[in-house]
Amino acid sequence: MTEGTTNEAPRLSNDHINDVLQQFADRFGQPQRSPVLHSPSEQNLDYEDVTFPSLDGVPLEGWFIPAAGSNKLIIANHPMGFSRSGIPTQFEPWHSRWAPSGNGFEVNFIPDYKILHDAGYNVLTYDLRNHGFSGAANGGIVSSGIFEARDVVGALQYMRNRDGTRDMTIGLFSRCLGCNATFSAMTQFPEAFNEVHCLVGIQPVTPQIILAHHLALAGVPANRIEDLEQYIVLRTGIGFSRTDAREWAKHVHIPTFLSQVHDDVLTQPSDVQTMFDNIPIAEKKLQWVYGTTARWDGYLEFQRRPEPMLEWFEQYLS
């Protein structure tokens, strides 16, 4: 069950608005790490704790979950502020931050890996830099995909150089920040994807849009988005124009399945629709998730209704 959102935004003083803008910039620039609370053992999955370098050497931590006799591999990453195991939004401080948008419930990704494993896929899942157990880098900031793109490439290189996996057929399962990072990696390092067969992308988002919706829920006037950007630039050195996933989508050249909660209160349908339209190939599909306004339901869609995404993987990894 999802939590309802508040329809009437509070009225804030200018000083309070400035405090809110600073808090948003701090949390967006360097979100608190979510712990790795769950393990594949909870689903009776054999797994290996692995560590490998990102393209620029940042140590990344993950799990390799083998599927006996399979030559197919899914590499999975996660949204901003999550870890490879999900996010404990039922607990503080995450609950207070996310409950106002209707996302005050836990997301546990372990069932996703069980579904993929049982469908015959080996799975590598890892924490992006500055998340989970992976290393700190770039001053601890989250770059909405610019630096995290190096993690995507590092995971591909690790699997291609590891005994037993180097010849596997690869698909990507990239979520939110992880999907933005994948789009960014395809823009920066297109040669890394020559032998990647397909992508399932869960709820990529343009940072400016999701932050504008956060401001609206907090009662901050829409015209203060420019002030928020200034706070973020002072915090990270990165403005909105450098993190536009809609532009990065123009560099996606592998079969791509995108999924998004249509009425997500933290974004708008036109954002993912534009990304989808900008992908310059015919082998693509956009799935809308209806009946909820909670973004977290989009992350749980695979474990609730895996068939469409599994069919995509089966079509392009067979």
Per-domain residue ranges of the chain:
14-317
**159 in Cβ contact with 73 (< 8 Å):** yes
* Residue 1 predicted with pLDDT over 80: no
pLDDT for position 12: 83
**Mean pLDDT throughout 33-56?**
98
* Residue 4 predicted with pLDDT over 60: no
Strand positions, DSSP E, 209-252: none
Q: What is the pLDDT of residues 232-272, one digit of tens each?
A: 999 999 999 999 999 999 999 999 999 999 999 999 999 99
Q: What is the pLDDT of residues 169-208, one digit of tens each?
A: 999 999 999 999 999 999 999 999 999 999 999 999 999 9
* Residue 7 predicted with pLDDT over 80: no
**Mean pLDDT throughout 14-19?**
92
CATH superfamily of 14-317: Alpha/Beta hydrolase fold, catalytic domain (3.40.50.1820)
* Residue 228 predicted with pLDDT over 50: yes
Q: What is the pLDDT of residues 145-154, one digit of tens each?
A: 999 999 999 9
Q: What is the DSSP string of 48-115?
A: EEEEEE-TTS-EEEEEEE--TT--EEEEE---TT-BTTEE-TTSTTHHHHHGGGT--S-EE-HHHHHH
Handedness of CA 302, 308, 312, 314 (dihedral sign): positive
Amino acid occupying residue 293: T
Half-sphere exposure of 60 (CA within 13 A, CB side): 29
Give the contacts of 95 (CB within 8 A, at least 6 positions apart): 89, 104
pLDDT for position 8: 52
The count of other CB atoms within 10 Å of the CB of residue 77 is 28
Query: How far is the C-alpha of 171 from the C-alpha of 190, rounded, in Å?
Result: 15
Q: Indicate the pTM of the whole model.
A: 0.95
Pick the range with the lowest mean pLDDT from 11-15, 129-133, 224-228: 11-15
**Mean pLDDT throughout 268-277?**
98
**Mapping DSSP to helix (H, G, I), strand (E, B) and coil, where does residue 173 land?**
strand
In this structure, the strands spanning 48-53 and 59-65 are antiparallel
**Mean pLDDT throughout 74-84?**
98
* Residue 10 predicted with pLDDT over 90: no
**Mean pLDDT throughout 267-288?**
98
**139 in Cβ contact with 174 (< 8 Å):** no
- pLDDT band of residue 31 (cuts 50, 70, 90) is very high
Query: How far is the C-alpha of 212 from the C-alpha of 154, rounded, in Å?
Result: 32
